[in-house]
Amino acid sequence: MLSGLMLALGAAVLSAGLAWWAFAAYRRAGGRPWRALVGFAATMLVALGVYAVIGRPALADRPFQPRLDALVKAFESGAPPAVTREEQLALWSHIARQHPGDAIPRLEAGKVLLELGRAREAAAEFDQALRREPESGEAMLGMGRAIFEIEGRVTPEALGHFQRAGERSSDPAPWLYQAMAAMQEGRDARPFWRGALARMSADDPRRAMAQQQLGN
């Protein structure tokens, strides 16, 4: 991703330098410099436009559409390849465009965005998922997590999402966040730790933490 952006930036800087060099030379020769400058500027804009249309830095400096088509075919054939987080995001965005009324691609895109540390964008995707499926416990949990990442704490809005997610899901995570909120506010968090523990599998690495909190 970074190399693609650097390539585009380098091309733009080089084009600007060439344009200025031509501008100066043309002016010294007594010509009309603005025609040369406009010509070079137009060339730069066209080059950058072509890059924006056929190339996507997010997909490892490869042309976007062919790579996306190949990934879609691979998934449809039942033999999905190893993909990066950015490629997963591109796939879910593609599916969301193909199925605009479906909540799942929005939900999955939100999860990937959270993993990438892009919480505000994730919140927007979870919001779109909830608009399509208002009772989705996963989307409520995702929205709560996104708000937590943005604010750095369990806000009342995030807590509301975690409470509703806990009512609709067997995932212990909503209960862990509710325990955290209770601790923030100086309330008894033990009911929430017990709720989380009851939903954890025997090998869940979070069990020790929940048991420790209940033992305090």
pLDDT value for 188 = 95
β-strand partners of 63: 55
Which pLDDT band, with edges at 50, 70 and 90, does 87 fall under? confident
Which pLDDT band, with edges at 50, 70 and 90, does 66 fall under? low
Beta-carbon contacts of residue 185 (< 8 Å; ≥ 6 apart): none
Backbone angles phi, psi at 215, to 5 degrees: -80, -15
What 77-83 contacts at long range (C-beta under 8 Å, 24+ apart), as own/partner pairs, is none
- Provide the mean pLDDT of the chain: 77
Element (H, E) at 128: helix 119-132
pLDDT value for 215 = 86
Domain ranges of the chain: 2-54, 170-216
Beta-carbon contacts of residue 97 (< 8 Å; ≥ 6 apart): none
> 117: alpha, beta or left, given left = phi > 0 and alpha = psi -120 to 50?
left
pLDDT tens track for 170-195? 999 999 999 999 999 999 999 999 99
pLDDT value for 83 = 75
Q: Return the higher-pLDDT residue of 63 and 100.
A: 100
Across 30-34, 87-91, 132-136, which has the greatest mean pLDDT? 132-136
pLDDT > 60? residue 52: no
